[in-house]
Amino acid sequence: MQKQYGITVMEALTLDTVNRLKVVGGQDGLDRVIKLVNVIEVPDIMDWLIDGEFLLTTGYSFREYPELMEKLIPRMHENHSAALAIKTKRYLNEIPDQIINSANECNIPLLEVPYDLSFSEIIAPILGVIFNMQNKILQKLEQAHKKLMDLALNGSPLEELCKETGKLISNPVAIMNLEGRLIVNEDCPDKHKFGLFFSEGSIEIKKEKLRFGNIKEVKYSLEYTADRENTLTIKAIRIPICANKYTYGHIVAIINNPIFEPDILIMERAATIAALEFTKRKAIFEIEKGYYNEFLEILLSCDFESEEEIVKRGRLFNINLVKPTAVIIINDQSFKEIEDSPLQMDFNGPRSKEDLLKAINNYKGCQEDHSFIAGIKGNNVVVITSIPEDNTTCSLKDNITALFNYLQETVNPEMQLKIGVGKPYDNIRNINRSFQEAREALKICQFSRKANVVFFEDLGFYKILSEKNRGELEHFVEELLRPVFEYDRTKKGDLLNTLETYFATNRNLKLTSTRLFTHYNTILYRIKKIEDLTGISLANPDNALNLEIAINILKLFRNQNV
């Protein structure tokens, strides 16, 4: 990144009067940038050194402390000072060799000032050039700020913000939000580069830290290697889009042309405006979801008196509650237990819930004939959908399949979606019943290794289990499996896991031994041990069914206690 807030030592030495200074050491550092000039005549100056400072001295403060002068150059190097100029023939007859050697080692330009040249004659031309340069930069920043603020006040889309920012810094600009959506002007000629930059086919080959003002970001160099015959090196700078300690994404510039410090400041201002837009969207999202969540809670709790009034209100939310209505609960394996907490939007909570809800609403916007509302309840996303009266089961399954496929493609690929679906009912007062059914279906779905969507009406004998209270089920399991529990606890055995795998493999002993990485004879011994402990013969179909049901009840309990 080029620096425009100063001039190099080499450029300063071309100015009138300043060109009389003689370089006596540190020639390799003549490209250091001078941002300001300071005269030092006190011994504690080393405590005040700053970046880009050109120091002038007569050596007066060091005549009684020569050891401090030897430490000055290394300290200047640590603080990124620009150069040191010493006027000789007054307090120092000549510059000591150790100082010259130190300047050469640290690449700090060491200059000798003629005796008849005053410091003001050196300071004036250098600061004059720097001030003129800074004035031009400030004018550019002011013009850029006005342009960007006009966009913000006129409510221009983020695509337009990217376009104008790109013009101001002479490099293409885009925004990548947290959902992984690339926001870029459609006319951007380098749109494909942003796609490659964020693709899995790009690998990082260099990372350069930027330290400028409040900016502590990274300049990246990536190489697109997916097409080995046409590899492409892409350089970019990204600035976070933040507000109230919350990051909405990044604004990114592909570096086709040299980029300067003012360009970084312009990007930072563009990021601030983008943050305002995202904050506004979030506020609107919260307000809208507040209305949706309130209505969802009323429907799920059946806390209403007039069905006609609720149907009218449903039309405002684009859902026809006169048609058969079903409840869908969507969860991810990173979520925890289903809770009965009020519907709520938590922007500082797990990102997956919010992203999932946004994706569902985006899906709704893409479908003309889908009638549903969605919100967050506890650790899950709840959807209430109305479906056509003819062939409701088929329509519901088709709709759920389409929604699931859309979410798999658009949400975080690491997310493992699990969906429980209740039965559709004609009467809106049965929405709560459909909700409870969806809960039970989700519980079954969560312990299944294969199923991603479970419909309550397909649960089979699991429906019977869901209608029993927990006490009855616990008693049934305890009566059958207590000896197995005791054996595993006291002997540190693995009988329960073996029995669970045995039923999961359709009572195939060989496959059970393979899955458990255990010898076949050991599995045979464990099954015989289970029969001895329980007094149940697995050769008897009724007894075997009872044990399998007990194992599945345990799975249900395990899932509930996650």
CATH number at residue 315: 3.30.70.270
Examine the pLDDT at 342 and tell me if it is beyond 60. no
How does residue 123 score in pLDDT terms, banded at 50, 70 and 90? very high
At 165, which helix (H) or strand (E)? helix 158-169
373 and 347 fall within a common domain: yes
How distant, in Å, are the alpha carbons of 223, 225, 235, 452 from that of 228? 11, 5, 18, 37
Question: Regarding predicted confidence, which is higher, 527 or 91?
Answer: 527
As a whole number of angstroms, the distance between CA 534 and CA 524 comes to: 16
487 and 437 fall within a common domain: no
Q: Where residue 56 sits, what CATH number does that domain have?
A: 3.40.1390.20
531 and 388 fall within a common domain: no
The domain total for the chain is: 4
As a whole number of angstroms, the distance between CA 1 and CA 265 comes to: 13
Tokens 């049934």 correspond to: 476
Domain boundary among 395, 430, 458: 458
353 and 265 fall within a common domain: no
Residue 255 C-alpha from the chain's centroid: 23
Query: Does residue 294 lie in a domain region?
Result: no
The pLDDT of 333-340, averaged and rounded, is: 45
Examine the pLDDT at 242 and tell me if it is beyond 70. yes
How does residue 388 score in pLDDT terms, banded at 50, 70 and 90? confident
Structure tokens at 128: 């004059």
Query: Does residue 58 lie in a domain region?
Result: yes
Question: What is the pLDDT of the chain when averaged over all its residues?
Answer: 81
Structure tokens at 473: 């089920």
Instruction: For residue 232, count other CB atoms closer than 10 A to its CB.
Output: 16
317 and 268 fall within a common domain: no
Examine the pLDDT at 220 and tell me if it is beyond 80. no
Domain that holds residue 364: 302-458
Nearest CA-CA partner of 370 in 401, 345, 408: 401
pLDDT score recorded for residue 460: 67
179 and 92 fall within a common domain: no
Angle (CA) 197 2 109, round 5°: 140
pLDDT score recorded for residue 48: 79
Q: Where residue 263 sits, what CATH number does that domain have?
A: 3.30.450.40
Examine the pLDDT at 188 and tell me if it is beyond 50. yes
The pLDDT of 260-280, averaged and rounded, is: 87
Domain boundary among 427, 458, 489: 458
Query: Does residue 296 lie in a domain region?
Result: no
At 288, which helix (H) or strand (E)? helix 261-301
Query: Does residue 1 lie in a domain region?
Result: no
Examine the pLDDT at 162 and tell me if it is beyond 80. yes
As a whole number of angstroms, the distance between CA 150 and CA 161 comes to: 10
Nearest CA-CA partner of 288 in 356, 358, 350: 358
Domain boundary among 114, 130, 146: 130
The pLDDT of 437-460, averaged and rounded, is: 79
Tokens 């969860």 correspond to: 331
427 and 521 fall within a common domain: no
Examine the pLDDT at 466 and tell me if it is beyond 60. no
Q: Where residue 486 sits, what CATH number does that domain have?
A: 1.10.10.2840
Of 170-174, 226-230, 324-328, minimum mean pLDDT range: 226-230
Share of the chain above pLDDT 90, in %: 19
How does residue 350 score in pLDDT terms, banded at 50, 70 and 90? very low
As a whole number of angstroms, the distance between CA 241 and CA 260 comes to: 20
Q: Residue 240 contacts by C-beta under 8 Å, 6 or more apart in sequence?
A: 217, 247, 249, 250, 271
526 and 422 fall within a common domain: no
**Do 183 and 202 form a contact (C-beta atoms < 8 A)?**
no
311 and 453 fall within a common domain: yes
444 and 505 fall within a common domain: no
The pLDDT of 112-133, averaged and rounded, is: 92
Of 315-324, 330-339, 447-456, 458-467, minimum mean pLDDT range: 330-339
Query: Does residue 539 lie in a domain region?
Result: yes
